[in-house]
Chains A and B, each alone.
Chain A
Amino acid sequence: MTSVAPDRTSVMPPLPEGGPMPGDLLVSADHPALSTTVPVDSDPRLRPTRRALNGVTADDSFVVVGAAVSALALAWLVCFQLLPWGTLPAFVVTAFVLFLAVIAVGTAVTTPGPMVADRVASVVVTGGAALVALGLASAIVFVFVRGWPALWHWNMWTDDMAGVGPRDDLTKGGVAHAIVGSFIQIGIAVLITLPLGLGTAVFMTEVGGPFARVVRTVVEAMTALPSIVAGLFVYTTLIITLGMPRSGFAAATALSVMMLPIIARSADVVLRVIPSGLREASLALGASRWRTVWHVVLPTARPGLATAMILGVARGVGETSPVLLTSGAASFFVWNPFDGVMNSLPLFIFSGVRSGEPEAIERAFAAASILLMLVLLLFVTARRLARPRTGR
C-alpha cells in the first residue's frame, strides 16, 4: 500500500518525491515515541557504486578486435590466394569460421575452459542472429531497390495495364488495378472473417461447454490447412461445381477460408489470457454475463484483439496461393467483385516474375514494394495499438 492515511499527512509534511531525504527525522503520528533518522552519507566516496557486471575490459576487446583482424586477413589469404573460392559469401563464411577458431585460441591462452566456451557460444549466437537479420534486411532492401525506378513513374500508382503489353516501357501502365483488387478482396474477407472469428473466440472462452471444446478442437485443427488447399477447396466447390466464374468474390472466399481459423484462434488466445479475476469481479458486482463480456472482457482485450486482427489481415493480403487458383488475372480495373476476373498485388507479382520479361519483372517489383509498404503499414499500426511490450 502506498497511500497514507489522511490524519498522518496533516502531521507530517508531504514526502518529497523519491521518499524521505537523508537527515530527515521521521516521526510516527500514532506513536510519537517511535522515530528514526534517515542516515546521512557524509562522504560520497563511501556511497556504494553500482558495479558493472557485464562490462568489457580492455583485455576482452583486444582479443575480439585482434581475432577479427586476423580472421579477415586469413580469410582473404584462403579465399583469394590459396583456394578458388573468390566470392564474397565464401569470404564471409570463411572469415566467420576463422574468427571462431582464432577467438577460441586467443581466449584459451589466458582464461580457463568455461570462459572459452562462453565466448565461442556468444560469437556463434550473435553470428546466427546477425545472419538472420541480414536475410530479413536483404529481402526488404532488395525488393525496394529493384522496385525503386518503377515507383517513380506516377502512372505506376494510378494506371492499370489495359492495352499495355508486357514489353512496353515503364511510362505506360501501372498496378493500380491490382491495388484496388487487393483492397476489395481483403475487405470482403475481413467482413466475413472478423465477426465470425471474433464471435467464435467469444463463444469458446466466455460461454464454454462441451460444444465449445469441439469447436476449439476443429478450429485449431483447421489452422493446419495449407493455404493452397483452401484455394483448391474454393476452386472445386464454387468454380467447378457451382459454375461461378473466377472472380474477386471467389478469391475473397478462399482468403476467408484460410484466415478464419487463424483469426478465431489468435483471438481465442488473446481472450484466454484476460485475468479471470476481472470477469469474476464484474459478475460478483451483479453484471450479467453479456454485460461482463461487452464492458469488461472485450475492452480489456481490445489492443490484443486489434493486433491479432491486423496481423491476420497482413497475412491474408500477402497470400498468393488461394488467389492464384480462384481470382484469375485481369489487366484492367474491376470494381465489382462478382464481375469476372480480378487482379491482386500478389498475383500480379507472381505472373510478372513468371513471364520473364524484364519490364514485367520491374513492374512486379514495383507491386512487391507497394505490397511490402502495405504490410509494413499494417504491422506498424498493429504495434501502435498493442500494449507496450515488456520485452523480457
Chain B
Amino acid sequence: MTTTTVRASTDGSPTTARPGPRRLARGAVGADKVFAIGTRTIGGTVLAITGGIGLFLAIQAFPTLDHYGTDFLIETQWEPESDTIGIASVLAGTATVALVAISLAFPLGLATALYISEYAPPRIKGALVSAVDLMAAVPSIIYGLWGYLLLMPHAGRIARFLHTYLGWIPAFDVDTDPHAAVWAQTRYTSSAFIAGIAVAMMVLPMAAAVMREVFSQAPLGEREGALALGATRWGMIRTVVLPFGTGGIIGGTMLGLGRALGETIAVLLIISPSFDLKFRPLEIGTQTISALIAGRFGEASTAQLSALLTAGLVLFLITLVINTLAAIVVSRSRSGAGTDI
C-alpha cells in the first residue's frame, strides 16, 4: 500500500500541487491474491466435481431415452431380458412410500416442533432440541432394522385394522379378505406402509427442526399481545405462531419429502419387490427407484446401467425440484439471511 499525504488547501481553490483521490488497488494484492485464487480454485474444483456428476447423469441418460423414448416413463415392468424397461410402477412406488412417510412425519413433526417451542419446560428444551438432532444423526440402517424386525409384526396388525374398518377407501384396500377366520398375515407385511413408517422416522427430525426454528422466531411482542388479550396458549399458537410459521411448516415438510424420496436401505430391507402399478400402500410388494438401483446394479450390463442411471437422474431431478421449492418457501418465511452486530 502506498500512502499519500493530502495537503489541505485553506482557500478551497484547486491548486496544481493538490493530489487527486488516493488510488486504491482494484483487485486483491499480495497474500490476498493468493487467498482469492486459492479459494477460487477450490470452488472451481468442487463445481467441477459436483456439476460433473449432474452432467454425467444427463449424458448417461441419453442412450436410454433414445432407445426407449417416452416408453421409459410409462412402462411398468423392468425386464431387461425382454428389453422392456420403464419406471412408471417404480415411480409410483417411490411416491407411495414418500407419501406414507410424509403423511406420518408431517403431523408428528409439527407436534414435536410445537411441543419443543411452546409446551416443553424451559429446563429440558435444550435437551429436546439435541434429541431431535440426534434422531437425524441415527443411521438409516438402524431405522431399517427397527422397521424390519421390531415394527413389522405390529404394523401388519395396524394395516389389517385399517383395512377392516376403512377398507372402503381405495388407499386402504388390500387384495384379501380381512374377515377371514385365519387372516392372511403375509398379505400385510413388506408393504409400502411399513417402509413408509421407517422412512418417516428419518425425515421427521429434519421437518421438525426446520419447523421449530421458524416457530422460535415468531415475534415475542405479538405472542405477548395475544396472551395479554386473554388468549389461551393454543389460541396464541393458532393466531400468532402457526400463521407466522406457515412457510417453515410447508418448507420443512417438503425438505422431508425430498429426503424421503431418496431413502434406500430401510426401504430395501423392508419391502418385497413388485412391479405392479397400484396405490395400495397396505398391501405386500412395492418398488422404489433407489431400492431398484440397489437391487439391480450387480447383474446390470452397460445398457442396463445406463437405464438405472436414468432412473437415478429422474429421482435426482424430482428431489431437486422439491428441495428448491422448499428452500424458496423457507427463505421467504425468514427475515434476511445475514445477521449483524
> Which A residues fall within an 8 A CB radius of B?
54, 85, 87, 89-90, 114-115, 117-118, 121-122, 124-129, 131-133, 135-136, 138-140, 142-143, 146, 195-197, 199-200, 202-204, 206-207, 211-212, 214-215, 218-230, 232-233, 235-237, 240, 257, 260-261, 264, 272-273, 275-278, 288-291, 293, 311, 314-315, 317-321, 324-325, 346, 349-350, 353-354, 361, 364-365, 368, 371-372, 375-376, 378-379, 383, 388-389, 391-392
Contact = CB atoms under 8 A, between A and B. Distances in A.
The 6 closest A-B pairs by CB, nearest first: A318-B139, A128-B111, A226-B262, A277-B341, A199-B42, A129-B115
B143 to A, nearest CB: 6
A118 B294 CA distance: 48
A279 to B, nearest CB: 10
Nearest to A281: B341
Interface of B: 28, 30-32, 34-36, 38-40, 42-47, 49-51, 53-54, 56-57, 60, 107-112, 114-119, 122, 125-126, 128-131, 133-135, 137-146, 148-150, 154, 157-158, 161, 201, 204, 208, 216, 231-235, 237, 258, 261-262, 264-265, 269, 290, 293-294, 297, 302, 305, 308-309, 312-313, 315-316, 319-320, 322-324, 327, 337-341
B233 A118 contact: yes
A350 B135 CA distance: 20
A109 to B, nearest CB: 17
A224 B319 contact: yes
Nearest to A322: B264
A126 to B, nearest CB: 6
B271 to A, nearest CB: 13
Contacts of B50: 218-219, 221-222, 260-261
Nearest to A93: B158
Nearest to A225: B316
Contact of A200 (B43, B122, B131, B261): B43
A143 B316 contact: no
Given A226-B290, A275-B339, A318-B139, A324 B54 contact: no
A219 B51 CA distance: 8
Contacts of B35: 207, 289-290, 293
Given A260-B50, A317-B139, A139 B201 contact: yes
B142 A203 contact: no
Given A228-B264, A230-B53, A139 B142 contact: yes
Given A203-B39, A207-B39, A317-B139, A275 B340 contact: yes
Contact of A136 (B110, B135, B316): B135
B28 A289 contact: yes
A290 B137 contact: no
A196 B42 contact: yes
Given A125-B114, A195-B42, A389-B126, A232 B297 contact: yes
Contact of B201 (A126, A135, A223, A350): A135
Nearest to A376: B134
Contact of A143 (B36, B140, B145): B145
Contacts of A124: 111
20 contacts: A122-B234, A132-B135, A138-B150, A197-B46, A199-B39, A199-B42, A200-B42, A207-B35, A211-B44, A221-B323, A221-B324, A226-B261, A226-B312, A232-B312, A236-B309, A240-B305, A273-B339, A321-B294, A379-B137, A391-B129
* A interface, over-half SS: helix
B115 A114 contact: no
A218 B47 contact: yes
B265 A321 contact: yes
A278 B340 CA distance: 9
* B interface, over-half SS: helix
Contact of A346 (B141, B158, B320): B141
A229 B293 contact: yes
B315 A226 contact: yes
Contact of B140 (A129, A240, A289, A319): A319
B113 to A, nearest CB: 9
B107 A128 contact: yes
A153 to B, nearest CB: 20
B339 A368 contact: no
A372 B142 contact: yes
A52 to B, nearest CB: 13
A185 B39 CA distance: 26
B237 to A, nearest CB: 7
Given A126-B115, A136-B135, A392 B39 contact: no
B142 A318 contact: yes
A289 B235 CA distance: 50
Given A288-B32, A379-B133, A389-B126, A227 B262 contact: yes
Given A122-B233, A368-B141, A260 B46 contact: yes
Nearest to B124: A391
B339 to A, nearest CB: 5
Given A228-B290, A229-B316, A118 B46 contact: no
Given A125-B119, A221-B54, A375-B138, A350 B265 contact: yes
Contacts of A391: 122, 125-126, 128-129
Contact of B139 (A272, A319, A388, A389): A319
